Structures are given as C-alpha cells and as structure tokens.
Structure 1
Amino acid sequence: MSGRGMRGAAAVVGVAEQHYRRGEAPHGEKRMTLQAILAACADAGIDPRQIDGFVSYAGGSNDGAILGGALMIDELRWSNMMWGGGGGSVAAAITNAAAAIATGQAECVAVYRAMSQADTGRLGYAKYHYGSHFLAHGIGSPAQICAMRTQRMLEHGGVPREAMRSLVLAAYHHAQNNPTAQGYGRPLDVETYENSRLIAEPFHLFDCSRESDGAVALILVSAERARDLRQDPVYLLAGAQGAPGGFSELIDNDLGEQYMTAGFGPANNGKPGVAERLWTAAGLGPDDVDVVQVYENFSGPAVAALIDHGLCPPGEAAGEFMTVENLTAPSGKLPVNTSGGNLADSFVNGLNLAVEAVRQIRRTSPNQVVGAETSLFIGGPMAPLVSSVLFGNEDTL
C-alpha cells in the first residue's frame, strides 16, 4: 500500500501522558507504561483487552508480549520497535501503527514510550549512536553533536541565532498556560535566556530539552471504527521516515549542504526526502499546516527541521519569520510547541509532543490554535533517522 493509500485509514482515538521531574518517578517504566495505556484506552472508551498491537521506539525492554500479558489482551498480532536512535523515530512509530491497521495486520494498536532514570539512566551522555571517532575526541553527548551541525547552520547557512531564541521564548510562553508543564510559573525573558550558562556552543541552558521521567501512550484504530468511539477521531493523513545517505552517526560527514540540515531533505541521488514524501502522501503542503509540534532536542535542530519542511525560509529570512509573535498561539502565523514542548513542558523522548498534536485537532490544547484542522508532528531532528506525521480532522479527508 502506498503512503497516499494510507491517507485517513487510521485515527488516534485515545491519548495519555504522565511526567515527573528527572529521577522522581514513583514507579518503574513497566508500571508507568501500563498506566498510560490504560488511561489512553479509557480516553478512547476501548477495553484494553482489545489491543492487539504495540509499537515503541528508541529501545526499552517492555515489548508487546510483556505488556499484552500484563493487560490480559485477547490476542497479540503486532509487536514492533522502531530503530534510529533517540527520538528520530518517534513519529515513525505512529506511522508504523497506522500501517498495521491499514493493511489488516492489527485492529487496535498502542504506541508508547516510558522513561525512568532509575531504570535506564540518562540519555544526555554517550549512549546509542556514538562512533569511536566522536568519543576519542571528547564528543560524548547529543548536545555536542547537534551543536556542531547547528553552528554550521548559523555560520554557513546564515540563519540568525535569534531564530533559536524565539523558538525557546515561544515554548516558555506556552508553558505559562499549561499547569502540568515543568516550566509553568517560570516565564523566560530575553535577558535570562542570553545570560544562561553555555552548554555546547551555540547552545545555552535554555536551548536544551528537559529529560523527564514518565510515560506516554496513543491508541490507534481504523477510521471506520474511530467514528463510533468516545473522542473525535484524529486522522493520520501521512507519515514518512528516513534520512539522506551519509546522514550517519558512523561517519558524520554528510555530502553537500546536508550537514547543517535536520535530515528531512532530498536523498543523495536527488530523490524526494522525508519532508517531500510527507507532503506528497498527504496531498497537502507547508501552507496547509495550522500548528506544529517539533521535537526540540535542542533549539537549533528544531529550527533546521522547520526549514527542511518548508515551514520557515532558510538563511537570514529565518530570523524575520521566527519571531515570538509568529510562533505563539492562538493566532501566530505558525504556532509551534503549544504545550511548551520538550524545552518547557516535559521530555518523554518526544512522544508527549504527539499528544499535544492530537489535542490541537480535538480543540483541547492549553494554547488552542483558532480553527486548527491540520497538526504536524516532527520527530527528532538531526538524529540518524528522522520522521514526521501529519494529523487532520474529518474535514481534511
């Protein structure tokens, strides 16, 4: 089945998230995952025993057989892990669930992720995808790798650093209307941002995502079944994943201009990349997007991802477009990360952003975009593999 053939075949009908400050979760990852899945099922009005598929990403030991047994499901038909490192495959996990439903491999799929420092430690140091050439030269954190690419974007690409600052300030602005955000009650101003300590040039403290304990779950079913459930369906219009050849943690020596991008651009042979394939499958384009949730591992990659998707102009013009006014709900030109995002709300490897993308279509966001019909979720930019998914309401089908 082609990407276009999947359009509108599956819908998100239940969502749930819980998050805590790093190291403060009251339970381990398995229990938090089960709690999130049960809450998402309650949100949808679905019996958890009807789940027959599980999809996660970026590692973890609680696979479909383990969770299915704990939930006493009737049958397990789909149990997948999306590879790619970090949060690059987070949107791909949702597309994977939709593909299973569209092709009849499963009927009710849970997409989930849990993180607990007590169980799996921190993500902010040398884990996952680090070649020996990185570690031998003192490069041992995602911040350092993304900082090099971002510095290239600023110096060679001509993107002003103010574009990054606006993204951060917009996230903290949104967090002030979200009582569950970790940045709630802690507004951020330009002076505080600029004077914060340097982490890895050009990233200062507030350019870097939080790392939270917690769990997130989404429940997907067929579009036909979704219309009879409790919540208004949020349809998957398109999803795409991949990376240009050479966009790799093993060599980190991308061809041409790719090094300063987020990885959503064309392949080395000129064929369409992730962003273009997404728009083609959706039958829509950047101008049709009402609101965006972009994974900000750090502010620079998020800006690069918006440029890759055609949502923000490249070069100097990015600074003119990326203003706090344009990026904030309810009526900015392109509201971004309306819950506060990974920077000011929480970071459960980015899946919490997908929940906010769904809320925008449901009209239940703490910073609701007026008349939102399409909601784009962009997975971890500058990761070895990246992904995006576009959601829409019934009027977009």
Structure 2
Amino acid sequence: MAERTLRGRVAVVGIGETEYYRHGGSPDPEFKLALRAILAACADAGLDPRDIDGFASYSDDRSDASRLAAALGTRQLRAASMQWGGGGGGCCAAVANAAASIVAGLADCVVVFRSLAQGQYGRFGQTTGINTISGEKAYLMAYGVLAPPQRFAMQVRRYMHEHGLRQQALRAIALASYHHAQANPRAVMYGKPLDEAKYDTSRWIAEPFHLYDCCMENDGAAALILVPADRASEFRNRPVYVLGAAVGSGYRAGAVPHNSPFYASANFGTVAPDLYRMAGLGPSDVGVVQSYENFTGGVVMALAEHGFFKPEEANEFLTLENLTAPSGRLPLNTSGGNLAECYMHGFELVLEAVRQVRGTSVNQVQRNDVAMVIGGPMVTPVSNLLLGSEATQ
C-alpha cells in the first residue's frame, strides 16, 4: 500500500487578503470581504477564478461555498469542507482538509479562506445577549466565567504554577509580535509599538493576562490557493509545499467542566508528533513559527509541546532576542500575529508562513525553508501545519 501522506503532494500557489480593520471598521459586508481576499489570491497566482473547483474553511464561516462559486463564476464545484469546532484551532485543519481533497482526486484547485465582519455579526468574545446556554458554558457561566480570557487564564495559571513560568515569558511573546508589526504596514498595530513598561502597566483582563496578552478583534478576510504539486510550475510565484498537517487533541480534551486529565495543556501532546511524523522532520528543522495567540500563555504551552524547549526552560528560551527576525533562535509571529497584525481567526498566520518560505516577508528570517503554523492552543480540536520550499520535499 502506498504511504498515506500529504508531504510534497500539494502546493500553495497564491495568497490574498483584504485590508485588516478594527472590529466594526469594515466598509464591506463579510461575503464581499471573502470575495475580495479570494480574488487577491487568484491575482497573486495568475489564476482565473473560474478554475477554482473547491472551497475549505473553518469555525462556521458564513460565506457559503456554493454562493462563493456562483459569485466567482466557477465552472464546477467539486469539493466543499468545513472544519468542526475549535474556533481558531481549525486554521491549519482547513488547509489539511483542502489538501486531502486534492490528493484524493476530489478537486484540483481549492481555495482555503476565512472571512470576518464582527461589526456586522457581533463579537466572538461577547457574552451579553445570550439567552440559552449548553455544553461547557452551562457549567461556567453560572459562576461568572463568561469570556474566553477567564476560561483560559485558569489553565495558564496552573501551568505557571507547575513549571515555574514567569510573567516575563508571556511578555516576551507580546513584545515580539508588536516588534514585528512595526515593519508590517498591513498590521492594525503598525506604528503603535509596545515596550516592557507599557505592557507591565497595562490593565489586567484576567490574571495572568494583561491587555497585551490578548488577541485583537478584527474585520477582514484572507485566502490561499492549493493545487497538486505537479501543477505548481504553471503559476507566478515560487511554490510552497505542504510537508505535513495534523488535527485533533488528546484523551478527553473536551471534558467539561475544566476536567481534562491534561488540564494545563495546549492540546498538542498527540497532534505535534503526528505532524512531525508525516513531514519526516523535527523541531530543529523549523526555522520560523507562526503560532495562534488567543492568549500568550497558550503559545508557551504550544511551543513546549512541539518540542522547542522543555516547560522548565521556557523562562530562559522566551526572550525578545530569541523570538525576533531575522536571526533569533526561533522567530515567532513575524507579521505581528493575532496580537498585533490582525485577528483573522489565525488564517493570517498561514499566509505569513507562505511569505517566509517564498522569501517575501517584511521580517524575513535567515532559515526559511521550513515554516510551522500552530492553530488554536488550548481549544479542541487544534491543528498544525508545516510548509516548505521545493528543496524540502
């Protein structure tokens, strides 16, 4: 039987995005934002949008595949997939689902996208106006645990207690994201630098999270285009190959209320080994990481669970010098990430990984043949992705 893998079989040939806006700032509705990002990705690839035959997204994106196909004039819709659950944890899973569709022969040209107009439909972090609750919320909201920072703060506080993690490590992640955003005109926080004093004096949201430990809320859209690897040379840009992808979580990760047996975890304990196994790579092969920051504490857990350092080494490893391009030990979130570029539910991280491998990032790293994306620490399911150059296939 042939090996079951995505490694080197699918290529990213186009990326596109809209302008990124503060929450409520988009002049366009969500569906139009999705179309604008997809058309930008087509222009980047030199692709006729009518040649698209598949769509993939996550987190219940409201821009329906059939409606998009009609608006774009695509000749035939052959694949449409939506990743369940996990919020931003699906940003890499959507790419994996699209790649799997291509490898299985279900489609030949798939757009993966995320569109958000929170000004149009309401904020993800909003807790007012909820009349019915079920699942995890039924156990938490009665006790005043209403918003995501409150829920995840408890997991991070446990991790800090168990491993001696200091606030300075969380601060270094925020500072790195803001540092990179200052070279990125696309970033919502471009021209708004962050320093240690500003971080330390910012208000608490839910300890141990200061204001700058928490992701933004934004409007916009981002998209990329996947094709079979043997077609990659047909398009304009240097192709970027999917080397590996993994989706899921460990034993009883979704247990409620706050009752997972691995509570102080980003939920990559089983997912990270699957990723490395498919790609045939390890942590030392990765030159740059784009990690979803719902909150900085989850990034610490996720990086440790991907083997970049042991939990007890986090304070030493996580410094601004180590996390910044071009020559840091592990450059992190080189476009600004969810904290400082845009909260496009993590999909902007995938586009930045593509730019790094292409060599076109505004914060280009020295080791760019292999880029990792980490989706949604502390949610379930989570997902991850390794992208690489032609030399790494």
Superposition TM-score, scaled by structure 2 size: 0.96
Mapping of residues 363-374 of structure 1, within 5 Å: 363-374=359-370
Corresponding residue of 2:24: 23
Aligned length: 387
Match of 1:162 in 2: 168
Aligned equivalent of 1:268: none
Q: Are the structure 2 counterparts of residues 307 and 2 from structure 1 closer, same or farther at C-alpha, using a change threshold of 3 Å?
A: farther
* 1:3, distance to aligned residue in structure 2 (A): 7.7
Partner AA of 2:153 in structure 1: A
- Assess, with a 3 A threshold, how the Cα gap between structure 1 residues 383 and 3 changes in structure 2: closer, same or farther: farther
Which SS does the other structure have where 1:366 is aligned? coil
Q: Paired residue for 1:71? A: 72
What stretches of structure 2 of length at least 5 have no aligned partner?
A: none
Aligned to 2:183: 177
Paired position in structure 2 for 1:241? 247
Of 264, 273, 282, which aligns to 1:260? 264
How far apart are 1:245 and its partner, in Å? Answer: 2.2
* 1:5 to partner: Cα distance: 2.4
Q: What amino acid sits opposite 1:177 in the alignment? A: A
Q: How does 1:315-354 map to 2 (within 5 A)?
A: 315=312, 317-354=313-350
Tell me the amino acid that sits aligned with residue 232 of structure 2: A
Alignment of 1:189-200 (within 5 A): 189-200=195-206
- Among 141, 144, 147, the alignment partner of 2:150 is 144
Answer whether contact 1:17 1:217 (CA < 8 A) is retained: yes
Following superposition, the deviation at residue 2 of structure 1 comes to 8.1
Matching residue of 1:293: 290
1:283-337: CA deviation from partner (whole Å, max 9, x where unpaired): 000010000000001100011110110113212x111011100000000010000
Listed one character per residue, the Cα deviations across residues 335-381 of structure 1 (whole Å, up to 9, x for unaligned) are: 00000111011111110111101000011101000141000000010
Residues of 2 paired with 1:129 and 1:93: CA distance?
A: 24
RMSD: 1.5
8 Å contact from structure 2 (residues 221, 344) kept in 1 = yes
Q: 1: distance between equivalents of 2:327 and 2:273?
A: 26
Whether 1:284 and 2:285 are equivalent positions in the alignment is no
> Per-residue deviation at 1:131?
2.7
d(CA) in 1 for partners of 2:58, 2:2: 23
Amino acid in structure 2 at the alignment position of 1:14: G
- What's the counterpart of residue 381 of structure 1? 377
- For residue 304 of structure 1, the aligned residue among 278, 301, 305 is 301
Q: How does 1:24-173 map to 2 (within 5 A)?
A: 24-126=25-127, 130-173=136-179
Aligned residues of 1:263 and 1:386 also touching (Cα < 8 A): yes
**CA distance in structure 1 between the aligned counterparts of 2:23 and 2:310, rounded to whole angstroms:** 35
Aligned residue for 2:354? 358
Using a 3 Å threshold, how does the CA distance of structure 1 residues 156 and 2 change in structure 2: closer, same or farther? farther
Check conservation: 2:17, 2:36, Cα contact below 8 A.
Answer: no
